[in-house]
Amino acid sequence: MTAQATPTHSAQPGSSASFIDPQALMRIKTLQWRAKVVVEGFMSGLHRSPYHGFSVEFSEYREYSPGDDLRYLDWRLLARSDRYYIKRFEEETNLRCYLLVDRSRSMGYGSGDYSKDEYARTVAATLAYFLLTQRDAVGLLTFDEHVVDYLPARFRPGHLHRLMLCLERQMSGTGTSLEVPIAQVARTVNKRGLIVLISDFLAPVESLQKQLGYLRSRGHEILLLRILDPREVDFRFDDASMFQDLESGQQRYVDPQSARQEYLQRFEKHAQQVQEICDDQEVDLYQLLTDQPLDRALFDFLSSGMRRKRRVMRRSGDRSLKGGASS
């Protein structure tokens, strides 16, 4: 399974030399402009639809099985080889992508000049811009412990603007609940699509597997982008002080020097749990640190698309092989 082969991608500073410095990018006030800058700097090609349909472009042959539509039977091959094959064409479809953006309080943390929320919104805006540029339908759902905003996937003039308005809205929630947005998407989105979940996943992971499995069972492709601050990863603080939980408001005296080791262990364990869940559900998980260029998110998105494509092709290949063996 390809998902196992693509573990969590972390920052690769050496490979991002040509990327845009996120600090410089964040100085651009308008979200749409940030997205435009990222996308136009990255634009390197369009992905192709992984879905097969009826199109003018031939894809492959498949052996006829009873029940197949006879319209697609290749008569000329039948005449030439006396075998029944069905012609399959590569269908160019529009992608329906849903961006699920976490707007909880924990996303408001930032050790630098900007917060994770700022970063996440920019990532979402970039993806939305990119997809809309490709004439794909993009939907948006922001959430904290409840669903804050929901925009169905559309491709129409002005939709990008509405997306940006929703993203620019100030965060107001407190906690993080992954169940609510996922259940909302599963309930409202009937047509299969791509679901990009942008969050820090700093929440209990017990229900994550169930929710992701539910989505997967509905045929959605899922991409998890985990946004983390570098301090959350390395926990490098100098002085002991009262640490306040941004979501619960809870205060706790912490001496970073003594607590760091245990924190890193707990954090790693949680990250592994998330990764295991993703692996189980064949879900791509990418970790983005807020000091990494945003181009990387686009890069991860596209590479995830490639992997999805390969997965589909492998599945279809498996099915054809199974079919051939049986025949």
Partner 1 sequence: MSFLTPLYLLGIAAVSLPVVFHLIRRSPQGQTEFSSLMFVPTSPPRLTRRSRLDQLLLLLLRALALLLLAAAFTRPFFRQAEEKNLYARFTRRVAILVDTSASMSRGQVWQQAITQVEDVLQDLEPGEDVALYTFGNQLRPVVPFGDGGRGQDPRTRVALVRSQLATLKPSFEATNLGGALVNLADAMEAINAEDQSAGALQIVLVSDLQQGSQLESLQAFDWPEEIRLSVRRIADTGGNVELHTLVAHDEDDSGFVRVRVSNVDPAGRQEFTLRWQQRNGEYTADDPFPVYVPDGESRLVKMPLPETQAVVDRIELTGDVCDFDNIYYVNPRQQITSRVLYLGSDPVNDPQGLAYYLERSLIGNRWRIIEFASRSEWGVPAESVQQSPVSNADDAPKTASPTVKSPAAGTPPELSEIDLVVVATDLDAQHCQTLRQFVIAGGRVLFVLVRSEMADTMARLLDRPAVEVSEADVDDYAMLADIDFQHPLFAAFADPRFSDFTKIRFWKHRQVDVTDDDALQVVARFDDGDPAVIESMIGQGRIVILSTGWQPSDSRFALSSKFVPWMTGMLHDFHLENRDMQRLYVGDLIPLTADTASQVASSSRKIIKPDGSEVRWNTADGDFGGVDQPGPYRIQAGETVRSVAVNLQASESDTRVLPVEALEERGVLLGVQATPKDMAEHARQMRDLELEDQQRVWQWLVVALICVLIAETWLAGHVERGGTTVAAVEAGE
Which residues contact partner 1 (rule: CB under 8 A)? 106-109, 116, 200, 202-204, 229, 232, 237, 239-248, 250-255, 258-259, 262-263, 266-267, 270
Closest CA to 305 of 134, 119, 100, 88: 134
Q: Which is nearer to partner 1, 106 or 304 (CB)?
A: 106
DSSP state of 20: P
Q: Which is nearer to partner 1, 29 or 252 (CB)?
A: 252
Give the nearest distance from C-beta 123 to partner 1 in angstroms. Answer: 17
3-class DSSP state of 209: helix
DSSP state of 98: E
Q: Which is nearer to partner 1, 204 or 324 (CB)?
A: 204
Give the nearest distance from C-beta 50 to partner 1 in angstroms. Answer: 36
Pairing of the two strands 52-53 and 85-90: antiparallel
Give the nearest distance from C-beta 181 to partner 1 in angstroms. Answer: 18
Laid out side by side, the sheet with 147-154 consists of 147-154, 137-143, 96-102, 194-199, 221-228, 284-289
User: What length is written for the chain?
Assistant: 327
Give the nearest distance from C-beta 239 to partner 1 in angstroms. Answer: 7
Give the nearest distance from C-beta 47 to partner 1 in angstroms. Answer: 33
Give the nearest distance from C-beta 102 to partner 1 in angstroms. Answer: 11
Give the nearest distance from C-beta 160 to partner 1 in angstroms. Answer: 30
Q: Which is nearer to partner 1, 260 or 311 (CB)?
A: 260
Closest CA to 201 of 102, 300, 304: 102
3-class DSSP state of 208: helix
Q: Is 233 left (phi over 0), alpha (psi -120 to 50) or beta?
A: alpha
Give the nearest distance from C-beta 257 to partner 1 in angstroms. Answer: 9
Q: Which is nearer to partner 1, 17 or 242 (CB)?
A: 242
Q: Mark out the alpha helices in 105-178 (DSSP H runs).
A: 116-133, 159-168
**CB-CB neighbours of 283 under 10 Å:** 25
Q: Which is nearer to partner 1, 3 or 227 (CB)?
A: 227
Residues 193, 50: contact at Cβ < 8 Å?
A: no
Say how many Å lie between the first and final Cα of the chain, rounded: 26
Give the nearest distance from C-beta 275 to partner 1 in angstroms. Answer: 16
Q: Which is nearer to partner 1, 180 or 233 (CB)?
A: 233
**Residues in a beta bridge with 141:** 100, 150
Q: Which is nearer to partner 1, 30 or 251 (CB)?
A: 251
**Alpha carbon of 93 to those of 44, 48, 238, 325: distances in Å?**
19, 8, 53, 31
Q: Which is nearer to partner 1, 32 or 275 (CB)?
A: 275
Residue 138's contacts (CB-CB under 8 Å, 6 or more residues apart) are 97, 98, 99, 127, 128, 131, 132, 153, 154, 155, 159, 160, 163
